[in-house]
Amino acid sequence: MAQARRGRPSTGVREAVLRTTGEVLGEAGIALSTKEIARRAGVAESSIFYHFGDRLGLLEAVIGEHLPVFSDATVVLGSRDADGDLRADLVAVVSGLEGFYLRIMPVLGALQSDRQLRELLARRGGDVGPHLALGVVADLLRTERAAGRVGAALDPKAGALLLIGAGHQRAMHRYLLGAAAEDFLPPVETVVEALLPAFV
């Protein structure tokens, strides 16, 4: 970001393309075309190739833009204020995770349905990607454990997998079924109630 601007300043085409691609990703998935993105973004199709090289380069840029958020605690967990009640705090954590996974679902779906994107992820060597959310939540549990608010016997990574699994599961079914999902899903409060004995 400390890079000095040289040459002609951008007129926002790159940004418009990235934004539009993110939108189309949520609708058509990775079966998106550079032509349609250019049309919807109101730019020339050739500008996409100027900025991103080829179609995969565009996909890499869009996906890659979202990959770092998985290690950002504020984004993954949402805003929470610990008020001392473990139950309420866990409800806030799972709800935050659910909202996060609901928002990131198009990116997650693209990664799951395109081998080239998975290879891009593997090439990054693990320094970015969905798996880092586990570390974020595990760190939170370690802190809470040190403060004595969570049982000393709890394995932080295992606890993180359970909380994330619950939030992700609710988010995925809501994404797939829409409002009808609530008829099948147990409420966050019920899930936390069931999980509570494992955390005290």
Helices (H), the chain: 13-28, 34-41, 45-52, 55-66, 73-77, 86-113, 115-123, 132-146, 156-177, 188-195
The two three-digit tokens of residue 109, written as one number? 């779906």
Position 96 contacts its own copies (CB under 8 A): no
Give CA–CA dist 52/57, Å, rounded.
Answer: 5
Position 181 contacts its own copies (CB under 8 A): yes
Residues ≥6 apart with Cβ < 8 Å to 7: none
Position 69 contacts its own copies (CB under 8 A): no
Which of its own copies, DNA, none interacts with 183 (beta carbon under 5 to 8 A by kind)?
A: its own copies
Q: How far is the CB of 58 from DNA (least distance, A)?
A: 8
Q: How far is the CB of 48 from DNA (least distance, A)?
A: 8
Q: Is residue 60 within 8 Å of residue 43, measured between CB atoms?
A: no
Q: How far is the CB of 33 from its own copies (least distance, A)?
A: 10
The one among 18, 135, 142, 149 contacting its own copies by CB under 8 A: 135
The two three-digit tokens of residue 111, written as one number? 């990664």
- Contacts with its own copies, 27-46, as mask; x by CB under 8 A: xxxxx---------------
Q: How far is the CB of 104 from DNA (least distance, A)?
A: 23
The two three-digit tokens of residue 138, written as one number? 């595990």
Interface residues toward its own copies, by CB under 8 A: 26-31, 105-106, 108-115, 118, 121-122, 126, 129-131, 134-135, 154-155, 157-162, 164-170, 172-173, 175-178, 180-181, 183-186, 190-191, 193-198
